[in-house]
Amino acid sequence: MSVKIYHNPRCSKSRTTLGLIEEKGITPEIVLYLDTPPSAEELKSILAMLGKGPRDIIRKKEAKEEGIDGLDGDDLIAALVEHPRAIERPIVVNGDRAAMGRPPESVLEIL
């Protein structure tokens, strides 16, 4: 099982989600996405696994602060790569499945 979490250690939801994964005996690959944002292709792949569009994973306040709140489609994906703090967190990927950790327990269905 190859589990990856796009993690922000300063976020309580992200920390709780990581704890739930570890309680299952899984040691995930931790991607500190603020330091190492996903590429546009990775983000598109994650969105496909989530069954969501780029607008569905933005943090509205941060997107507005970054000036990217009016974008959509590939333009928004490119902007999220440039401004990863506007990406909702955490996102957990397990193989070809992904889940948002909001609420944290929602990731359990893909583990």
Which residue type sits at 99?
Answer: A
Regarding whether 29 and 68 lie in a shared domain, the answer is: no
Regarding whether 82 and 95 lie in a shared domain, the answer is: no
Catalytic residues: 11
pLDDT score recorded for residue 52: 97
**pLDDT tens, 69-96?**
999 999 999 999 999 999 999 999 999 9
Regarding whether 47 and 84 lie in a shared domain, the answer is: yes
Regarding whether 73 and 45 lie in a shared domain, the answer is: yes
Q: Which domain holds residue 70?
A: 38-88
Regarding whether 81 and 57 lie in a shared domain, the answer is: yes
**Over pLDDT 90: what percentage of the chain?**
99
CA-based Rg of the chain, rounded to a whole angstrom? Answer: 13
pLDDT score recorded for residue 1: 67
Provide the domain count of the chain: 2
CA distance 52 to 47: 5
pLDDT under 50: residue ranges of the chain: none
Q: For residue 93, what are the CA distances in angstroms to 20, 21, 37, 45, 76?
A: 14, 11, 15, 10, 21
pTM listed for this prediction? 0.95
